[in-house]
Chain A
Amino acid sequence: MRPSAVRLLHILVPVKRAVDYAVKIRVNPDQTGIDLNVKHSMNPFDEIAVEEAVRIRERLKDAVKSIKVVTIGPPKSAETLRTALAMGADSAIHVELPESTPSPEPLGVAKTLKAIIERQKEGVDIVIMGKQAIDDDAGQTGQMLAGLMGWAQATFASKVVVDAEKKVAHITREIDGGLEELRCKLPVVVTTDLRLNEPRYASLPNIMKAKKKPTEKLTPADLGVDLTHRLETIKVTEPPKRVGGAKVENVDQLLAKLKEAGFTTRRA
């Protein structure tokens, strides 16, 4: 399993198709979920992951042999893969789920990714993925994958420096209250924070080229994984509505309101 010293690096980037971050979502009337008939795009943290993979190759040049993107989702997720290919990934794997299948739980995704990694003849050295999907906000998949593989993990990365010779990655993580630096042996699972980079836009020629890049289609059955949900979603509801209060005219009125609510000055 461990890469030998002369091997070149292979990067795997899992991406998710999610409701676009700018969409104001609406809970459906039967409270089973949200209205999904809205604009979707690649999970923003995953865009950062794709960008970082491409940048690692730009820095290390030939030391990176391949960048493969993978998604698990309905047929429409192919768009998300094409976006990633247009940003610079070489090839894609689409684990296709029937339309309207609920997106699998993080543990199911992690098991699927593990099965995919084990199928890669040349192995995988770095998995880069978003720290969380902005739809379910779980933030678990990367850690679960690292756990299943027994690999190093570096979550919430804001800086990644890969030393291809030594097969280590120096990673700066965003933690509560500051930053932390780690040295991780490859293979490693990295999850991206927003600060890691600014994803590029795919240019039109690259979008055209992406159409020619290979996509392998698989099913969960091909990989021998069961994506049945183990947690039951009972219902999805609107959060309690907050009603905006009155506007005030000036600072005195504002301070009077504060005083009314009991906020005068610094508390002892």
Chain B
Amino acid sequence: MLRARTSTLSRTLIRSYATATSPHALVFLEHYQGELDSASLSAITAATLLGGRVTGLIVGGLDQVPAVLEKAKKVKGLDTLLHAASPQYTTPLPETVTPLLEKLLSDNSPFTHVVSAHSSSAKSILPRVAARLNVPAVSDITSVEHDAPSNSTTFTRPIYAGNAISTVRAPSSIPIKFFTVRSTAFSAAISGDLEAEAKALGPVEVADSPSEHINTLLTKSDRPDLGVANRVVSGGRALKNAETFQATLYPLADALGAAVGASRAAVDAGYADNSLQVGQTGKVVAPELYMALGISGAIQHLAGMKDSKLIVAVNKDPDAPIFQVADVGLVADLFEVVPEMVEKLKQSE
């Protein structure tokens, strides 16, 4: 059972760090259809800022790992790549992946940090692993700095929906420092000429997992992925219904080559899919261009987009809070303005 490991754990935790240790990060890499997630590439960048070795970990199905491994080997910043393949990891669940990570991080593990993107999958897995190793975790960090002599790592992270920034230090008393990375705060690691050394890990089979994956339903879209798009066109409650949401926003998004986002109000009202929600409880984006159309700009929405480079807002209400953060604001009816924009953008093409 999962519990059998407690004795080895307590041994790991009393291991002392009398001398300064060079950091060695383990980055949990996520992948989809043979490609590394770009959020994981940002996590690699954050891991390299610790100033020590960086090892990547790829967990996946037997037919998934080889393809993504070839690409991951070339990513700059990774010294070593560990990979574990098993049918159980095809759709990895925290219950099946945790024992593997637990094993890797116990028994004189060389790792001082465990890093991942702040993605839905890693958010589910990492805290579970951290708890089993009896260490705290730091979520959604926007900066990281490691002090090797004191073996402490200092992070900043947004709290209260991004309305305050907390600076926290994980001292040397935390033997393995877990953190998830806000991908918009770090550039994605790029590919280079060198190849990281790859080592296969034996999977840790979980005989009687308490959870079973039944089905995954992904929202299909030809537009860029919201989390990484350079341009985002986002709609709110003012879009009235799902039909007008699509009919109004999609042509503009297509004219700009932008991803489509939505406020919580628009998602709750059923105008747009959940996965398009931008905000504290949805996705955090920081594109070059963010167009907020018919979005008032509640605190929870601003939390998800206020780090965008250029914010453009169109709203009928001149007092909408969105205008306080928008670089360019237009007080107008979006149903008149947006088609006009699409038309004029097309002409200038």
Contact = CB atoms under 8 A, between A and B. Distances in A.
Interface string B172-195: 011000000000000000000000
Interface string B101-126: 00000000000000000011101111
A60 interface: no
A105 interface: yes
Interface in A28-71: 34
Given A152-B211, A153-B128, A233 B168 contact: yes
A26 B87 CA distance: 50
Contact of A180 (B154, B166, B213, B337): B213
Interface stretch (B46-54, B196-204, B235-243, B249-257): B249-257
A110 B318 CA distance: 46
Contacts of A155: 94, 120, 123-124
A93 interface: no
Contacts of B135: 107, 230
A178 B219 contact: yes
B214 A183 contact: yes
Interface residues of A, number: 84
Q: Is the interface of A mostly helix, strand, loop or mixed?
A: mixed
Interface in B258-291: 264, 267-268, 274-275, 280-281, 283, 288-289
A239 B143 CA distance: 13
B127 A231 contact: no
Interface stretch (A78-86, A121-129, A216-224, A250-258): A250-258
A120 interface: no
A134 B216 contact: no
A254 B328 contact: yes
A146 B94 CA distance: 10
A263 B291 CA distance: 12
B13 to A, nearest CB: 12
Which interface residue of A34, A135, A147, A261 has the most chain B CB atoms within 10 A?
Answer: A147
A156 B121 CA distance: 10
B214 A24 contact: no
A132 B158 CA distance: 14
Interface string B159-173: 111111111111101
B161 A134 contact: yes
Interface of B: 1-3, 91, 93-95, 98, 119-121, 123-132, 134-140, 154, 157-171, 173-174, 210-219, 225, 227, 230-231, 254-257, 264, 267-268, 274-275, 280-281, 283, 288-289, 299-300, 306, 310-312, 314, 318, 323-332, 337, 340-341, 344-346, 348-349
Given A106-B137, A179-B217, 9 more contacts: A107-B131, A134-B160, A138-B137, A152-B210, A177-B218, A178-B218, A182-B93, A230-B171, A248-B328
Contacts of B288: 263
Nearest to B257: A266
Contacts of A137: 139-140, 157-161, 280
A135 B281 CA distance: 12
Interface stretch (A5-13, A168-176, A199-207): A168-176
A175 B212 contact: no
A208 interface: no
Leading 4 A-B pairs by shortest Cβ distance: A152-B210, A144-B131, A266-B257, A147-B128
A141 B217 CA distance: 26
Contacts of A252: 344
Nearest to B37: A176
25 contacts: A19-B160, A131-B281, A137-B157, A137-B158, A137-B159, A144-B128, A146-B94, A153-B211, A155-B123, A175-B121, A176-B119, A185-B210, A195-B267, A230-B173, A236-B159, A236-B164, A236-B167, A242-B325, A245-B327, A247-B331, A251-B332, A254-B314, A254-B341, A265-B345, A267-B257
